[in-house]
Structure 1
Amino acid sequence: MNDPVAGAGSLVLDAEALYRELLRGVRSLMGASTRLAGITSGGAWLVERLHKDLNLPGSPSVLSSVLHRDDFAQRGMASSAQTSIDFDVNGADILVLDDVLYTGRTIRAVLNELYDYGRPGCVRLAVLVDRGGRELPIQADFAAARIALPPTQSLALARDDNGIFHFRIQEA
């Protein structure tokens, strides 16, 4: 597992190195019938790239948390956040992917969204970064890195025009 490097008072995370670790972890979690689904937006970018790197058939599946969030009234609906599932959810072995696991509220909302489409046989979670700070009893089955950030900071995956990943750390 790659550890973040702290230097000069700032946190440096190599998102590409963490992606390679995530790819290794996803390979170890996948069975013959496992289906991948990424959470918009960072998880959707991850599942898109994993789909290519693992030579998976069909289209990458994307899950949106927007309709089931407990802060929907504050955040509203993002036009780009739409669920698109390329498989039958009923009885499926699903590996959900996200960029950063923090409070667990997005995962709770995504599970509700997933059950709107059917009843999976098994749902597991893989993330690029687990930053702790959980408010709900949700845990990743695989995390490429585990870090601690103060609640005043947010961490989000970004990608450039060439599809190269990097992180944005901002004051909340």
Structure 2
Amino acid sequence: MSTRTVLSQADITRALTRIAHEILESNRGPDGLVVLGVPTRGVVLADRLGASLSSFSGVPVPVGAVDVTMYRDDLRRNPTRASQPTSLPAAGIDGATVVLVDDVLYSGRTVRAALDALSSLGRPRAVRLAVLVDRGHRELPIRADFVGKNLPTSTAERIFVRLAEVDGDELVAIEGGAGDDERPAAAAETGGAPS
């Protein structure tokens, strides 16, 4: 099975820098922004985006994490999932523009779970979605507002996102492809479950 690197560490840094500028432009500055990552790698990316947003604007942008474990629709099939606790900024999310951050957008089910989790935590003014990679194959009507890289893939391919804070190295790679169609689509992304 072949594996090819599609984003290097420098590419990931450039993509996050561009996304940070796009967020500031679309929000007309940092006012009211809250950045929340979806565990695991989404939290790392959210931390980096928050640091960039704060650096570019000169205003601290709150960052946190939202645990989607209990809101997933596959708990019956996969009852044991590692979770990272939700951590919201002290001011909460009511009235804020929340930027949800995840590493890979695939089926849209993880994002749906994150939206359900947010609705139990407060009422943001707006929710925006930022992803490092959009690989297509949506099962729900969900679209990212900010995308680092669109990577059209087949369902036989698998996307691996590796970040230094979690994995020790940094890259985005695609594994599989033509002739590998026996691979189930549900395992075709970083965490092995639909996103």
Say whether the fold is shared (TM-score over 0.5).
yes
TM-score tier (shorter) = 0.7 to 0.9
Contact 1:90–1:121 at 8 Å: present in 2 too?
A: yes
Name the SS for the 2:99 alignment partner: strand
Name the SS for the 1:64 alignment partner: coil
Which one has the bigger strand percentage? 1
Matches within 5 A, 1:56-95: 57=60, 60-86=63-89, 87-95=91-99
Alpha-carbon distance in structure 2 between the residues aligned to 1:116 and 1:168: 35
- TM-score (norm: length of structure 2): 0.74
**Farther off after superposition, 115-124 or 151-160:** 151-160
Query: Is 1:12 equivalent to 2:13 in the alignment?
Result: no
Alpha-carbon distance in structure 2 between the residues aligned to 1:68 and 1:170: 29
Alpha-carbon distance in structure 2 between the residues aligned to 1:58 and 1:77: 33
Q: What is the identity, as a one-letter code, of the residue corresponding to 1:34?
A: L
Alpha-carbon distance in structure 1 between the residues aligned to 2:132 and 2:22: 15
Aligned twin of 2:100: 96
- TM-score (norm: length of structure 1): 0.83
Change (3 A) 1:157 1:10: closer
Deviation at 1:23, TM superposition (A): 2.2
Alpha-carbon distance in structure 1 between the residues aligned to 2:88 and 2:63: 8
Between Structure 1 and Structure 2, whose CA radius of gyration is higher? 2
Matches within 5 A, 1:11-30: 11-16=4-9, 17-30=11-24
Calculate the aligned-residue CA RMSD, in Å.
Answer: 2.3
1:116-155: CA deviation from partner (whole Å, max 9, x where unpaired): 1011110001111100000000000111111122212221
Tell me the number of residue pairs that the alignment of Structure 1 and Structure 2 aligns: 164
**Farther off after superposition, 82-91 or 35-44:** 82-91
Contact 1:96–1:125 at 8 Å: present in 2 too?
A: yes
Query: Is 1:147 equivalent to 2:151 in the alignment?
Result: yes
Contact 2:67–2:83 at 8 Å: present in 1 too?
A: no
Change (3 A) 1:170 1:74: farther
The one of 150, 165, 169 aligned to 2:170? 165
Gaps of 5+ in 1: 1-8
